[in-house]
Structure 1
Amino acid sequence: MPAAAGDPLSPALRSLLATLRLRPRHAPGRQGIGHHASRNRGSGLEFAQYRAYESGDEPRQIDWKLYARSDRFFVREAERDSPVRAWVLLDTTASMAQADEAAPTRRRFDVGRLLATCVYEIAQRQGDACGLVLCGGAGVALETPGIGPRQRDRLRHALDRVDPRGEWPHATALAPAWGRIARGDLVVAIGDWFDDAAVEQLVQLARAGREVIAIRVLTADERDFPFADGRRFVEPESGESLLGDGPVLRADYLARFEAASRALAARLAAAGIRLATQWTDAPPDAVLRNLFGERA
């Protein structure tokens, strides 16, 4: 079933998100009641909103008095000081505009934006604050972590109005935003991670006590190199190009790509960063389960 108009998440994907949790390896313990594996509920919480019951919600969250009046199931959502503060860091550089030749309207950035929305929805459901950092040619844009429906609207609006362009910002431009990400915060970084400077920033965040999860979004063309003719290959950020024959280049390209991917994984693992790869021609379910499911 497709998503409702204006909603980027299909009912099936929403049902999956209801089973997932943001689980930092180390509970920050600076606010709230500490690390948890369930959404807000119980007494002593500030009521935020009603929403329609979804698969995965616990029956005790249902407002039975409202059900008696409306004959529909609604659950109560509440707000509290959050024990987990999460950030979605999204690469908005020009390379994120790349798409597969067979599906030119399916950009890498659109897949990254969907993943960003999923991460926020998981945080929203469990009552944890989530913010957003956008890094690209337009500079650095930041949305402070928050909870509730207004925060959801702010993040969606920020994601909708941005378009990938330019190169990764210089470290000096990133410093103010990095200073807002506190020690112990969870950072879910989404991008292609081809830029060495961008990868180094993730490593520095992890070494400074931030927990970093990296999701690498790659195209099917990068995985398969299906080109059967001669063409000019252009690097979208630098403009550098290479004229070559697809079949002749394929074996060497695939070997180099695999070696570079292994090197990136090893570099991130050495810094304690979890890495998952999302292909543009695959649904996000497997990556989300791998990072945020029960076995994560």
Structure 2
Amino acid sequence: MIPYRAMLDVPHEVVEHISWLIYARRCELNSRRRKLGCFRQALLVLVHLRKNETLAQLAAAFGVSTATAGRYVNETAGLLAEHAPSLHQALHKPPPEGFVILDGTLTATDRIRADEPYYSMKHRRHGMNVQVVAAPDGTPLWFSRALPGRTHDLTSPSLRPGAPPARAHGVIQACLSHQLLVLADRACQGAGATVRTPYYGHRDLPEHYQRYNRDHTRLRAPGERAFARLKQWRILRKARCSTNRIGRTVAAIHAIEIAWRSG
């Protein structure tokens, strides 16, 4: 491996914010002597998340071993995930518009064909299903834990057959308790409570149903921005890590995005 200089499109303030979190954790563990300083460790993790460089590439660039690079990534990702808001924290101050957007996406992985639970027939690829609750302007408020890609939006292993992941994660009940309207796609039809989905059919629908579908689509469309911004972190375009770590990685990136917006 030959190291070279490169640019990272992340504000300096975000790197400093993460480095202070790392410093606090090192003080808490009484572990201050490390191969890399707090700022360099934060930079290493951001390069991994933003550019999806392998641990071998990170090790060569920062002058550490591959094992050390992996340890820094796991340690910092877990630290950042702790600062991601829970569902009830995200809904503590509901949007003034009175509704939120619920949507899901598939985070691609490098699983093999034998890993059937992670294969999504809809997307024709292996991955993990992640749900998002977004504000009306598309700002992500909360990301769920990751479920195997085969999990349809109307099934969940943790509840009765036919229960959507949104119910498994507690989204529907949380929005109901906060009296928030939820706009979702047809995959969540039948979820009940305050969830509103489009009507089935196109030309056969009455005019007022078609108008409802158009208004519903217009209001729900900004929710795609949440995933578009999330996928700017290339590690989530095709993750090479264990599927057990993808949910934590999404939470870590969400915490970074919050620091980025507030910075």
TM-score scaled by length of structure 2: 0.28
Q: Which has the higher helix share?
A: 2
Structure with the greater relative contact order (CA < 8 A, sep ≥ 6): 1 or 2?
2
Structure ranking higher in strand proportion: 1
